[in-house]
Amino acid sequence: MRRHSENGHHRRERKVPGRRQIARILPVAFLGLSFGVAGLGALAAYRAQRSHSRTARAVLTDYGGFAAWSYERSLAGTFGSALSRSLRLPRQNPQYRSGAPTQERLSRLVGSGVEDGECTCQAGLGGGFAFYTRLGDLPPDAIWAGQPPDVGERVRMVDLVQHHARTVYQNGWPYAVLHTSAGIPIAYVRLSARDRGDDEKAGAGVPADTLIYGIELDRVRLDSLFEAALDDDVLLPPTLTTGRANQDVVQVDVVDPQGSVLFASRPNQPHAYPAEEQLPVMLGGSIARASVLPDVADRLIIGGLPESHAPTLLLIFGLAGALAVAAIIQLRREHRLALLRQDFVASVSHELRTPLAQVRLFTDTLRLGRTRSEDERSWALENIDRETLRLTHLVERILHFSRAERGVLPTERETVNVHEEVTDALAAFAPLVPATRARFESDVPEALMVEVNRDSLRQVLLNYLDNAVRYGPAGQTVRVVGKADGEVVRLAVEDEGPGVPIHERDAVFEPFRRGRGAVGTVVSGSGIGLSVVRQIATASGGQAWVEDAPGGGARFVFELPALHTARPAHFPENGPLETDAARAAGVEEDSEVA
């Protein structure tokens, strides 16, 4: 049963660390969960914004498609009327039965676009040259009027027209438009024997003696035609455009099948939400591209175009992550601080238990009358007095630390003779160190005066002396040195111990921390003594630091404003060694001098 009880006891002890571990992990898990929820929320918002953007773009693209379709319809009608005037060739006129027209008739198709002699119709799209060819001629040849291109381009153009007339041109078309490889737009008419009224030569398919008349299309007149088609009809419903002109609502381009731009309502401006509509093959198969202008798009979409919130969402997500990381770091610091406080409680308990045990031992000895002589009785009383004094110093140190943590250190100042205070402190501290055989020397001028809280100065001296005795060797000499230096007074305690490494000299003044050389040794310490010194120095308008002693060991310095001098405007909180490059190396936690 006992073994079972012991095993059960051990099992219970093993469960306690598990609960503590869970208690530490839970906050981190909750923070991670909240970070994940924030990420999911940001992702959902980003997806919703993207979906809204896609919907808005689709609507605007549909508007552009409707505008492109409307423009194509308007352009087809306008283009067709202009080509009819430009290629006016009477199909039933007997003069065409015999074949080729005269050079004079071809010349009249150039520029004016009017072929009939008596007609004074409005000029069409005729450009700089006109041509005539017969489909069955081998090799292909043509008659030219006006200013035709060079010989090579004319050969390529005739081949292109004949091939187009055989393979693309359909019966019933009044004309056809195509674009050469050189980017020259031309229009032509294919007149078969049936079209000319020559029934004797008409037959199935494309008769060999089919005539072809064509002209170059003038680019300037084409631009005017494209622009006129843009202004003729309303490309979007009036309820959307509120009576505004097409030019102020949509952007329109016309591109030939080779990709060359024939017309652009807004040159060099890219389309925001483009849609395309192809013109009939009879009109060259060009592409009409239209899109709603960006400044109009906001009015066409209810609520306006959705703005991209990706940067804001990323910022929120990053901020949530940073806050989560900061919270985790803070939790870890609090956990470490809790461990330090536990160590502090254990250290203080140990320091309290030792003198209390001594006091109780010698008290029982006196109460039970076990002393054999008056000298033994006096020796017991001296031990009781020494341990009581040790308890008093420890309690005062803890009280000073507690007040400093709450920001209620005493602020009443008085004129104090430093020499007298050092003498009194050494006299009060001497009974506490008989086992160490430490010797004390004082080198403080008798006239050295400061304005400070007397109890605080006494606490600084006792903490410095206690630290020197704890970590110095047995039989060492502890020196207390004081001097005035301009507007400040420096009071230092020098020991013959191992000293404090440069990279630890700032951190030893932080609460609950001990030097690296002190951790794991038999030397006990609460870890608040030097912290109390730093807090008193700051409250007194001075500073505290540690440096190397002239003869080796550590030299702990306490600096105050001299009497009857202006208090310094600012004292570095961490002492003059704060600027030392070695201090940047940092200190491992839990590695300070007590």
Terminal alpha carbon distance of the chain: 46
**Is 594 among the domain residues?**
no
User: Which has more confidence, 552 or 492?
Assistant: 492
Q: Which tokens hold the place of 438?
A: 């430490």
Both 340 and 405 in one domain: the answer is no
Predicted pLDDT at 102: 66
Q: What is the pTM of this model?
A: 0.49
Q: How far, in Å, CA of 498 to CA of 548, rounded?
A: 10
DSSP state of 442: E
Output the average pLDDT for the chain: 75
User: 209 and 358: one domain?
Assistant: no
The predicted pLDDT at position 20 comes to 62
Q: What is the mean pLDDT of residues 385-405?
A: 72
pLDDT at residue 179 greater than cutoff 80: yes
Report how far residue 111's alpha carbon sits from residue 127's, in angstroms, rounded to the nearest whole number. 5
Span 341-356, average pLDDT = 71
Give the domain extent around 91.
77-301
In a domain, 422, yes or no: yes
How much is the pLDDT for 337? 73
Task: Note whether 342 and 358 are same-domain residues.
Answer: no
- Do 31 and 98 lie in one domain? The reply is no
| Residues 320/207, Cβ–Cβ less than 8 Å | no
The interaxial angle of helices 454-471 and 418-429, nearest 10 deg, is 50
- Looking at residues 190-197, what average pLDDT do you find? 65
pLDDT at 23 over 70: no
**Torsion of the alpha carbons at 256, 262, 264 and 265, rounded to the nearest 10:** -120
Q: Among positive and negative, which fits the CA dihedral 149, 150, 156, 162?
A: positive
pLDDT score, position 211:
84
Residue 593 placed within a domain? no
Residue with tokens 């990381």: 325
380 and 527 part of one domain:
yes
pLDDT at 577: 36
Using the predicted structure, report yes or no on whether residue 85 has a pLDDT greater than 50. yes
Reply yes or no on whether the pLDDT at 7 is more than 60. no
Q: Is the peptide bond before 139 cis (omega within 30 degrees of 0)?
A: yes
Residue 391 backbone class (left: φ over 0; alpha: ψ -120 to 50; beta: rest): alpha
Mean pLDDT check: name the lowest of 90-104, 240-254, 444-458. Answer: 90-104
Do 539 and 572 belong together in one domain? Answer: yes
Tell me the average pLDDT across 219-244.
81
Highest mean pLDDT among 25-34, 86-95, 534-543: 534-543
Q: What Å distances lie between residue 436 and 346, 390, 422, 467, 592, CA to CA?
A: 24, 15, 20, 13, 22
| pLDDT above 70: residue 198 | no
CATH for 491: 3.30.565.10
Q: 256 in a domain, yes or no?
A: yes
Looking at the DSSP bridge assignments, the partners of residue 100 are none
Are 327 and 459 in a shared domain? no
The pLDDT of residue 582? 34
- My answer on whether 532 and 384 are in the same domain is yes
| 393 in any annotated domain | yes
Report which DSSP code applies to 515: B
Q: Classify residue 303 as exposed, middle or buried by CB count within 10 Å of its CB (0-12, 13-18, 19+).
A: exposed
Count of domains for the chain: 3
Neighbours of 157 (CB within 10 A): 25
CA distances from 584 to 86, 480, 505 (A): 89, 30, 11
Asked if 39 and 170 sit in the same domain, the reply is no
Work out the percent of the chain whose per-residue pLDDT is above 90.
7
In angstroms, the CA 284 to CA 160 distance is 13
Residue 5, both tokens: 């009880």
Higher-confidence position of 222 and 430: 222
What are the distances in angstroms from CA 248 to CA 65, 229, 457?
17, 15, 85
Residue-wise pLDDT for 234-273, tens only, equals 788 777 777 788 888 889 999 988 888 889 988 888 888 8
pLDDT at 252: 92
Angle in degrees, CA 414, 420, 425, rounded to 5: 100
The pLDDT score that the predictor gives to residue 492 is 92
- The SS3 of residue 90 is coil
Q: Find the helix or strand (DSSP H, E) in which 481 lies.
A: strand 477-485
Same domain (yes/no): 472, 357: yes
Mean pLDDT computed over 535-562:
87
Indicate whether 454 belongs to any domain.
yes
The stretch 116-145 carries a mean pLDDT of: 72
Residue 374 pLDDT grade (very low, low, confident, very high; cuts 50, 70, 90): confident
Sign of CA dihedral 563, 568, 569, 573: negative
pLDDT at residue 84 is higher than 90: no
pLDDT value of residue 480 = 92
Would you place residue 1 in the very low, low, confident or very high pLDDT band (cuts 50, 70, 90)? very low
| Structural domain contains residue 592 | no
Q: How far is CA 50 from the centre of its chain?
A: 20
Phi, psi of 205 (to 5 degrees): 75, -150
Note whether 380 and 368 are within 8 A (CB): no
**Mean of pLDDT values over 219-228:** 87
Is a pLDDT exceeding 70 seen at residue 120? no
Q: Which of 192-196, 213-217, 378-382 has the highest mean pLDDT?
A: 213-217
Position 488 pLDDT exceeds 60: yes
Evaluate whether residue 590 is within a structural domain.
Answer: no
Give the per-residue pLDDT at 575.
41
557 has a pLDDT exceeding 90: yes
Tell me if 129 sits within 8 A of 147, measured CB to CB.
yes
Do 535 and 430 have their domain in common? yes
Using the CB atoms, write b or e for 566-591: b if 16+ within 10 Å. Answer: eeeeebeebbebeebeebeeebeeeb
Q: Average of pLDDT values for 488-505?
A: 89
Q: Is residue 66 located within the same domain as residue 137?
A: no
- SS3 at position 202: coil
The mean per-residue pLDDT over the stretch 182-197 comes to 77
Question: Is residue 483 classed exposed, middle or buried when 0-12, 13-18 and 19+ CB atoms within 10 A define those classes?
Answer: middle
At 186, is the secondary structure helix, strand, or coil? strand
Per-residue confidence band for 481, with pLDDT thresholds at 50, 70 and 90: very high
Sort 178 into a burial class: Cβ within 10 Å, 0-12 / 13-18 / 19+: buried
> How many residues are given for the chain?
594
